[in-house]
Amino acid sequence: MISMLDYDDCYSKTMPMNDSAVDPRQRLVLAAADMLRQRGLNATSVREVAKLAQAPLGSTYHYFPGGKPQLISEAVQLSGEQVARYLTRTFAAGPRDGLLAFVALWRQLLQDKACRAGCPVMAVAADDSAADDDAPMLAAVAAAIRAWQQPLGDSLVTAGLPAARAARLATLLIAAVEGAILLCRAQGNTTALDEVAEELRLLLDNALAGVAAQGEP
């Protein structure tokens, strides 16, 4: 079974956003992602991101001439890719182990940050006004979600499910886990995520048991 708590691979506990060994540009992106996680899009200001990254404010517009939309988009993209890599790795061991790892990832984050954290990608999805300049941000969010659905769907297909069902289940897993994160934020504990995880586990076992029964007579 995959070690499902190698949380550092996706989100290091000591984020290098103020580690001067990392170049300032990446520090800014990491700081933006961390702030999105806790405060949401509109409460994440360029000034505070720069301060958190220990970079001068002027540098922000040097590295990101597109301004805040570009900075946020890159933060969403980076976070999305990190999660996508994690999902690809963990779901390679099968949907069941993948789900456990997926849940464990977010559970750890919620616990570390006292349920004051969330997912940067969903923060942007929930908070953007979908105006003119927000288009690149929304595009980054949509791309991240697609990149998450891929490994989940592949894993379910490999396990024997039809493609259409696998795609639907992948969407459900992502929606349910992300929704549970919101519930946890509101309630201040991880109960909702635990309950959702248990039901999703039962659901997967059920779906895959049907495949096994049909596949080996």
Partner DNA sequence: AAATCATTATAACGACTGTCATAGATCAAG
Partner DNA sequence: CTTGATCTATGACAGTCGTTATAATGATTT
Tokens 């779906």: give the residue. 207
CA-CA distances (angstroms) from residue 53 to 49, 75, 116? 6, 13, 20
Cα separation, 5 vs 22, whole angstroms? 25
Q: Is 135 in the site for a copy of itself (CB under 8 A)?
A: no
Q: At what angle do helices 95-112 and 163-187 cross, to 10 degrees?
A: 20
Instruction: Tell me how far, at minimum, the Cβ of 69 lies from DNA, in Å.
Output: 6
The interface region with a copy of itself, picked from 1-9, 21-29, 94-102, 161-169 by CB under 8 A, is: 161-169
**Partner that binds at residue 127, options a copy of itself, DNA, none, CB closer than 5 to 8 Å by kind:** a copy of itself
Instruction: Tell me how far, at minimum, the Cβ of 201 lies from a copy of itself, in Å.
Output: 11
2, 15, 157, 176: residue in contact with a copy of itself (rule CB under 8 A)? 176
Q: Residues 14, 114, 71, CA angle at the centre, nearest 5°?
A: 55
Q: Is 174 in the site for a copy of itself (CB under 8 A)?
A: yes
Q: Is 61 in the site for DNA (CB under 7 A)?
A: yes
Q: Specify the amino acid at residue 181.
A: I
Where on the chain is the footprint of DNA (CB under 7 A)? 24, 44-48, 55-63, 67-69, 133
